[in-house]
Structure 1
Amino acid sequence: MLYPRIRNLVSIVITNYNNGSYIQECLDSIRKQTYNTYEIIIVDDASTDHSRQQILEWVENHKPSEGCNTLFLPRNVGFAGALTMGFFMAKGEFIAVQDSDDLSHPERLTRQVDYLRQHPHIDLVGTNYATFKDRIPDHPKKETWIHYGQNIRETYAKGGHCVCHGTILFRAALFDILGGPTRRIKGAEDYEFIVKFLNHKSQIENLPEILYYYRLHPQQRSLQYYAKQRRE
């Protein structure tokens, strides 16, 4: 381990850009986690909506005992830059990613930490997820593009993608070695980050359970990126 880290602590890094309408609901889903040894790190990437107000209001109202660190950037540095800053702030043995417009299942952190404890050769674990618009469906459906086991490495070797970035939890010591996502590939930062782990010979797995809920809305970062690509 290159830097001292707090054993058992999960550092949850939440980057936000103009998701003020959803950020409090996202944070509420973190408060409901059954795993209670965690810190929250919120990096706001110079939002122009009411995000700052919503974040500060939530922190003031809840005063999470597990710790909540907020960083409001003076200018927009992009998703990869904001995420890397959050990673640098993390003190935990594990780092979890959470998108500010999505929700986590209450058992998410417990299941992922338990899995890494039971499988010391695995460095990063994601989960399956379900999409939603207005509310979480009563009978959510798993996504079929998520792969497992050896199929993960084989998929990326062929240029495919099969890990949902918002679901990942990994051993923080790997960040100390590999660094954060690249800023060179805008819109594919999550893909490159997973490939960086695989190139390092790290083992990656996905849990088949739905432990994350991906919100569908017009302001999604991925939708805006692909819409821009089509215009160009």
Structure 2
Amino acid sequence: MPTLAALITYYRGTDADDMAAALESLAAQTRPAESIVIVRDGPVEAATRDVVKRFLDAHPEADHVKLTQNRGAGPALVEGMRHVDAEWVARLDSDDVATPGRFERQLAYLEEHPGVDVLGTALREFDDEVFRETGSLERAARGVRTLPENHPQIVRYARLNSPVNHPSVMMRTAAARRAGGYRDVHLMEDYDLWARMLATGARFHNLPEPLTWFRTSPAQTGRRTGWDMFAAERTMQRNLVSYGLVSKPRAILNCLVRSAYRLLPTALLERAYALLFHRRGTTDAASGAGEAAD
């Protein structure tokens, strides 16, 4: 049987209730991970510390890695990966929720398709404000964020955009390390890793089922339009050229297109985001999404 580690990071901005929901969803997996690596990225609020302490007390399989200073998502993930000792590693963000059958479903697919190194899934988006008012993920559900499924489609898509939903991913630890693992690429640490893994021959696939609940909020939209994001775009395009995924002219075009859509008014930005990420409606009850407890 393959071994699995789950990797989650948190920092000062992490809400205690969000962290509790994320950790509980990892503990509730029908096929639990053998280990859970939790990385604290610098000092955090007391309420969030208490949530993590209670979880650690109840789950001896969890490993708590503490960084004394806030270093950002990339360095926190680098440190977390140093503590992963499993064939596969699954990611979850501290404000998202994994459905109970997520790990079981992904591992089953990977056993049936041994050539795959990176397996993502669709995400079921939910409205943060509605969820806080109702306490129900189902009532807060919005669209389903999907990405291309098979490897050739993923390779083409990666030339323009990140081809895997990061909070949904399960990846072969050795393949990630062979590509150099996570790096400190501000706001783009996941895209940068996928690009390097593609360049080093890793095989990708995305499942169409939404196996992770993905939190959405106005603050999230704001993060896509900050000046830091424009600088990150330039860095990422330079990286894509150096990895051999795109030409310099294509990188310039990508940077112009991706930066231009971030300058749109909020309503148009949301529409562009929906088109870019192939988000569809919620009228169909996608497999796996309904498993999460309210």
TM-score w.r.t. the length of structure 1 is 0.86
1:82 matched to 2:76? The reply is yes
Q: State the 1:174 CA deviation.
A: 1.3
> Of residues 61, 67, 88 in structure 2, which corresponds to 1:94?
88
User: Looking at both structures, which has the greater relative contact order when contacts are Cα pairs under 8 Å and sequence separation is at least 6?
Assistant: 1
Give distance in 2, aligned partners of 1:230 and 1:169.
26
1:186 equivalent in structure 2: 186
Give distance in 1, aligned partners of 2:175 and 2:5.
14
| Structure 1 residues not aligned, in runs of 5+ | 1-6
> Of residues 53, 64, 67 in structure 2, which corresponds to 1:56?
53
2:259 equivalent in structure 1: none
1:201 equivalent in structure 2: 201
Please list, as runs of the form range in 1=range in 2, the aligned pairs for 1:150-189 lying within 5 A after superposition. Answer: 150-156=152-158, 158-183=159-184, 185-189=185-189
Contact 1:16 1:47 in 2 (8 A): no
Q: State the 1:37 CA deviation.
A: 4.3
1:109 equivalent in structure 2: 103
1:19 equivalent in structure 2: 14
Give distance in 1, aligned partners of 2:222 and 2:35.
29
Stretch deviating more after TM superposition (82-91 or 174-183) = 174-183
Contact 1:180 1:193 in 2 (8 A): yes
Q: State the 1:211 CA deviation.
A: 0.1
Q: State the 1:115 CA deviation.
A: 1.0
Give distance in 2, aligned partners of 1:170 and 1:122.
9
Q: State the 1:116 CA deviation.
A: 1.1
Give distance in 2, aligned partners of 1:147 and 1:130.
16
Stretch deviating more after TM superposition (43-52 or 96-105) = 43-52
Contact 2:163 2:191 in 1 (8 A): no
SS at match of 1:83: helix
Give distance in 2, aligned partners of 1:49 and 1:114.
38
Give distance in 2, aligned partners of 1:217 and 1:228.
19
1:215 equivalent in structure 2: 215
SS at match of 1:44: strand
Aligned-pair RMSD on alpha carbons? 2.2
- Per-residue Cα deviation, 1:156-215 (whole angstroms, up to 9, x for no partner): 1x32223111111011111332232221x3111111111111101111000100100111
Higher strand share: 1
SS at match of 1:212: strand
Q: State the 1:136 CA deviation.
A: 1.6
Higher helix share: 2
TM-score w.r.t. the length of structure 2 is 0.69
Contact 1:127 1:209 in 2 (8 A): yes
1:3 equivalent in structure 2: none
Stretch deviating more after TM superposition (130-139 or 99-108) = 130-139
SS at match of 1:137: helix
Stretch deviating more after TM superposition (209-218 or 93-102) = 209-218
Q: Percent identity?
A: 26
1:123 matched to 2:112? The reply is no
